[in-house]
Structure 1
Amino acid sequence: MDRTIAHDPLVLLARKAAATGAEILARRDESKFNTDEKSAAGDWVTDFDRAAEEAIRATIVTTRPNDELTGEEYPSAKPANPSGLRWSIDPLDGTTNFVRNIAYYCSSVAVCEKDEDGSERWVAAAIAAPALHVEYFAGRGLGAWKQDLLTGKLTQLSGPADTEARILATGFGYDPARREFQASVLQQVIGDYVNVRRLGSAALDLCLVAEGALDAYAEFGTQEYDWAAGALIAEEAGTLVGRPVGYPGWQYAGLVDASKLPMPD
C-alpha cells in the first residue's frame, strides 16, 4: 500500500471510525433489534444503528473535537470553533439486510472540507462490512483500497474492466411512488447492460463498482450519508461518479449514459 495513504490522518481516522461502528454491528443479536419504522413500512432503524453512530461520533470527536458531524440517526453537531471539516456518517447502511441476516450491510464514514469558494470536496472515506469481513477506504488523490480482514490482503482498486457483459446495480425506495419512478427509469437504461443486481446497500454498491465486481450503479433519492464514502472510493478507483445536487437527485457511478436518468414529473 502507498505509504502516503497509509499515514494520512483523515484516512486513518475514517478507517478507525468505520471499524468502530462495524464492531457494534458484529454483535448482531436478533433479540435486541428493537426495530422502529422511520418513513415507511420496512424502513427500519434499530438499536444497532443508534449505538454504531454513537460509537463512530465518539471516535471522531476524541481526535478532532472541532469538526462538524452529520449522520443518519442524530442531529448535526456543530462545534463553537469549527475546523472547516465535516463528517458524514451512516452507521448501518443496509438495515433491512442486517435485520434479515443478509450479509450486505456496513458502517460508512466520510469527511469533506470547504474550499475557498464555500464548496465542499470529499477528502477521505472508509466503509467496513463486518459480515463480509472487508474494508474499503480512499483518500483524495491517494487512490482507493480494499482490505480482506480475514487474510489481511490489500488490493488497490481500479474500477470495472472493459466488458460487453456489463452488470448494473440499483436500489428502490420504500415509498411506492418513488419505486414506480425508479422502475420506469430502469427500463430505459437496462438495454446497456446484460443484467441487474439490487443488493440493498448503496455504499457497498459503489464499492463493488470501484473493485470491478459491478460495472455501474444508479439510484434515485439517496441521502448524502448513503453515498458520501462510497462515491469517493469509486472516484478514487478511476470511475466516473455523479453525486446528487440537492434532493432527491441521482447518485451513479460507471454509468454508460447518465443522460438516461430523468427527474420525476
Structure 2
Amino acid sequence: MSTTSKHVHSAPETAGAPRSSDAALRRTLLAVAREAAAAGAAVLAERGRGNVAAQTKSAAGDWVTDFDRRAEIAVREVIAAARPNDAITGEEYGSTVPAQPSGYRWSIDPLDGTANFVRGIVYYATSVAVFGPLDGAAEAAASTAVTEQTPGESLAADGAAIDAGTHAWLAGAVNAPALGTEYYASMGDGAWLVDSNQVPGVSSRRGGSAARAQRLHGGDPEASGKLVATGFGYDAQRRQFQVGTLLDLMPDFANMRRIGSAALDLCLVADGTLDAYAEYGTQEFDWAAGALIAAEAGVPVLRPRTEPGWQAAGHLDFDALPAEEPAKK
C-alpha cells in the first residue's frame, strides 16, 4: 500500500492519559459538533412529503437544495458563536478563515445524501467534524513545518501531520433526523449512538434510547454474510473504475449496498450494521465525521491522501484498492 496516497487509522493508542486541559477541550469541541449537527438536522427535519425542488450542480443527479444552504448557515452560526477564531470549510459556502485563526478547522456537510433527501429516501444527515492540534502541539506545529503545506490546507498535509502526531480529527457528529439517530465521537473517548426510535428496555444490536447513548464497537470480522457498502461518482468513466475495483472485493462479501450517504455508510460500519465501506472520490466533508466515528468504534479506517482517492472502513483489504483511477482516454 502506498502511504503517500492512503492513511490507515483506527482508534488511537495514547502513551498515557491525556492532560485534563486536552480532555476538556475535546469535550468542548464535541459539544459544539453535536450542537452544530443538530442545528443542521433541525433544518432538514422541516422537509415535508413529496419530492423537494433542487438545482443541478456539477452533473445530473448532483443536486443542491435550499435545505442544503439553510442547514449550512445554521451549522456555521453555531460554530462561529462558540469558536469565533476557528476556520470552517463547508460544502455549499466554501472556506472561511478568521483574522486570527486558532489552528482548528471545521469540515461540514449540511446535507450528506442530497439525492436521497430530494426523493424522500430517509438516509441523509448533517455531518460536522473538527481537525486541529493534538495535546497542546499547536506551538510545536507552528515552529516546525511538517510538510511544505500547513495542516488543513491539503489532504497530504493533514495526513503528514497526523503521522507526526501534531494534529488529528478531534471530534465529530452525524445527525440523521429522518432516522432519529445521532452518532458522535471524540478522539480517545470512543464512538456513540443515540437512537430516539429505540424503545427503552428492549434490546437491539444498536441498543440505546433517546436518553441513553450506546457505545459502538463495529461488527464481527468473522461474521458470515458480510455486507460492503459503496457509492458511485457522476462521471461514467469513474463509475466504471469504481465498479471494476469493487467487483474484485466481492469474493470476501455476500453482497453490496449503495445507501447514498458516505457519512451514514461510515456510521453504519461503526455500529455493525454494515461490515465494510469503500468509495472513490468523496470529499473531505463527506467522510470527516464518519471516519472518526468508525475509527473510535475500533474499525480500521482509510482516509485519502490525494483528491480523488479512496475512503474506506471496516475489515476489507485496503491494499486491493488502486491508488489512482486510469487516465481518461
Q: TM-score scaled to structure 2, two decimals?
A: 0.77
Deviation at 1:75, TM superposition (A): 2.1
Deviations 1:222-255 (A, max 9, x none): 0000000000000000000000112000000014
Name segments (4+ residues, structure 1) moved above 4 Å.
none
Partner residue of 1:230? 290
Instruction: Work out which of the residue numbers 238, 241, 250 in structure 2 matches 1:178.
Output: 238
The 1:80/1:32 distance shift into structure 2, 3 A limit, reads: farther
Q: Specify the code of the residue in structure 2 equivalent to 1:264.
A: E
Aligned 1:105-144 pairs, distance under 5 A: 105-114=124-133, 116=141, 117=146, 118=151, 119=161, 120-144=167-191
- Tell me, in whole angstroms, the C-alpha distance in 2 between the residues paired with 1:165 and 1:33: 36
Partner residue of 2:97? 78
Partner residue of 2:113? 94
- Tell me, in whole angstroms, the C-alpha distance in 2 between the residues paired with 1:256 and 1:95: 27
- Asked if structure 1 preserves the Cα contact closer than 8 Å seen for 2:299 and 2:315, the reply is no
Partner residue of 1:154? 213
Deviations 1:16-46 (A, max 9, x none): 0000000000001468944111111010000
Choose 231-240 or 106-115, whichever is displaced more.
106-115
Choose 114-123 or 35-44, whichever is displaced more.
114-123
- Tell me, in whole angstroms, the C-alpha distance in 1 between the residues paired with 2:66 and 2:196: 25
- Tell me, in whole angstroms, the C-alpha distance in 2 between the residues paired with 1:134 and 1:64: 25
Instruction: Work out which of the residue numbers 217, 222, 238 in structure 1 matches 2:277.
Output: 217
Q: Secondary structure at the match of 1:183?
A: helix
Q: Secondary structure at the match of 2:61?
A: coil
- Tell me, in whole angstroms, the C-alpha distance in 2 between the residues paired with 1:54 and 1:219: 28
Partner residue of 1:264? 325
Partner residue of 2:85? 66
Partner residue of 1:8? 27
- Asked if structure 1 preserves the Cα contact closer than 8 Å seen for 2:51 and 2:119, the reply is no
Instruction: Work out which of the residue numbers 188, 191, 201 in structure 1 matches 2:248.
Output: 188
Deviation at 1:260, TM superposition (A): 1.1
- Asked if structure 1 preserves the Cα contact closer than 8 Å seen for 2:182 and 2:193, the reply is yes
Query: Over alpha carbons, which structure has the higher Rg?
Result: 2
Choose 233-242 or 152-161, whichever is displaced more.
152-161
Deviations 1:159-212 (A, max 9, x none): 111313211011111111111111111111111101111000000000000000
Kindly report the root-mean-square deviation, in angstroms, between the aligned alpha carbons of the 2 structures. Answer: 1.6
- Tell me, in whole angstroms, the C-alpha distance in 2 between the residues paired with 1:82 and 1:53: 20
- Asked if structure 2 preserves the Cα contact closer than 8 Å seen for 1:218 and 1:253, the reply is yes
- Asked if structure 2 preserves the Cα contact closer than 8 Å seen for 1:145 and 1:154, the reply is yes
Q: Specify the code of the residue in structure 2 equivalent to 1:54.
A: I
- Asked if structure 2 preserves the Cα contact closer than 8 Å seen for 1:11 and 1:138, the reply is yes
Instruction: Work out which of the residue numbers 43, 66, 77 in structure 1 matches 2:62.
Output: 43
Partner residue of 2:13? none
Structure of greater relative contact order (alpha carbons < 8 Å, 6+ residues apart): 2
- Tell me, in whole angstroms, the C-alpha distance in 2 between the residues paired with 1:171 and 1:32: 22
- Asked if structure 2 preserves the Cα contact closer than 8 Å seen for 1:104 and 1:131, the reply is yes
Partner residue of 2:7? none
Deviation at 1:112, TM superposition (A): 0.5
Q: Specify the code of the residue in structure 1 equivalent to 2:233.
A: G
Q: Specify the code of the residue in structure 1 equivalent to 2:288.
A: A
Q: TM-score scaled to structure 1, two decimals?
A: 0.95
Deviations 1:45-99 (A, max 9, x none): 0000000000000010011100000010002100011111000000000000001
Q: Specify the code of the residue in structure 1 equivalent to 2:83.
A: R
